[in-house]
Amino acid sequence: MVDPYRLFGPMLRRFEPELAHDLTLRALESGLGGKAGHKLRPSLAVRCIGLDFPNPVGLAAGFDKDARVPDRMLALGFGFVEVGTVTPEPQAGNPKPRIFRLPDDEAVINRLGFNNGGMEAMASRLERRPPGGGILGVNIGKNKTTEDAIADYRAAFERLAPLGDYVVVNISSPNTPGLRDLQAVESLRPLLHALVREREKTSAVARPPLLLKLAPDLAVDDAVQASMLAAGEGFDGLTISNTTIDRPATLASRHRDQAGGLSGKPLFERSTELLRSVYGATDHGLPIVGVGGVASAEQAYAKIRAGASLVQLYSALIYRGPGLIEQILAGLEVLLARDGLTSIEQAIGSDA
């Protein structure tokens, strides 16, 4: 079977990145893009945050901000898909251009600024979604001009939590002024407390797991403190990590000095080491979704062995296309067999 991305990927990369992304979403909405389906892989199944994942490889937030194509992406083989970041009110985000490819580094810089159509538009799409399509996470944030951050997160949670399988609280994007300040304990505690209390208003059957997404630029002690606070307040997991504002000296692409969050290959080591440190320092207290630079089975496996129960990717799809999903899943099976393991769960934290 011919991989459509081999034909159309190079053409797409001739377009400005944001236009190419929108064209991709439109193509998926129209039914183009192929359908890999889910091959039964018992050794890759993961029970985590109260949910049964068919495999540990998910699509990170940012690709499908408005929940336009979650089921199309699940059909490509992902074990779960995360939509958003979505805010209560629609917002345009930062001025364009605001996405930059760094092909020499297999990386991307974005300063989108939570551009999205708002929670009501997303809710209307998710309410029309057929049941049983696969595990869906909803990533929520605050509007740029909002002064009461807690009110925004509560509103987004209340509206969208019943429509997803889990909810991620994004306080770590570098592209919304003041957002990362919420990672400080004095700001974080009341936010986490308010969301857990909001969740308690729903029926016990419908209470979705809550995850906290952290920045890779946090000091280890601060990340551990935030993680332990999340566990103490009743959160169910962590996502490590978001994009970085750091610029490694090794970057070679011409857009390397653009402002925004850096993702892709240069983020792998930094995000994985933070994941490993938090996993060990918190005594494995919360499941972790490992994000940042995953572009191969070996890298996904490294994050899992460092302490991740699940992994996500996005930037690598830009350079390698959707065929990467199958490559990673098949590769993980090979790596498990090499190590004499019968389940991916046995590998979680084995290097921590």
Answer for the pair 81, 135: CB distance below 8 angstroms, yes or no.
yes
Taking the C-alpha atoms of residue 313 and residue 244, their distance in angstroms, rounded to an integer, is 15
Distance (Å, whole) CA 140 – CA 150:
12
By the 8 A CB rule, do 267 and 292 touch? yes
The CA-based dihedral angle spanning residues 305, 46, 271, 114, taken in that order and rounded to the nearest 10 degrees: 180
Contact 256, 199 (CB under 8 A): no
Do the beta carbons of residue 308 and residue 288 sit within 8 Å?
yes
DSSP code string of 111-157: ---S-B--HHHHHHHHHTSPTTS-EEEEEE---TT-S-HHHHHHHHH
Strands 237-240 and 99-102: unpaired
The rounded distance, in Å, linking the Cα atoms of 163 and 326 is 28
Cβ atoms of 33 and 111 closer than 8 Å: no
d(CA 124, CA 68): 11
Cα distances (Å, whole numbers) of residue 83 to 57, 67, 71, 215, 257: 15, 5, 11, 18, 28
Active site residue 227: no
Cα–Cα distance, 139 to 316 (Å, whole number): 20
Residue 275, CA distances (Å) to 45, 108, 278 in order: 21, 21, 5
Considering 173, 271, 277, 309, which one is annotated as catalytic?
Answer: 173
Catalytically active residues, by annotation: 173
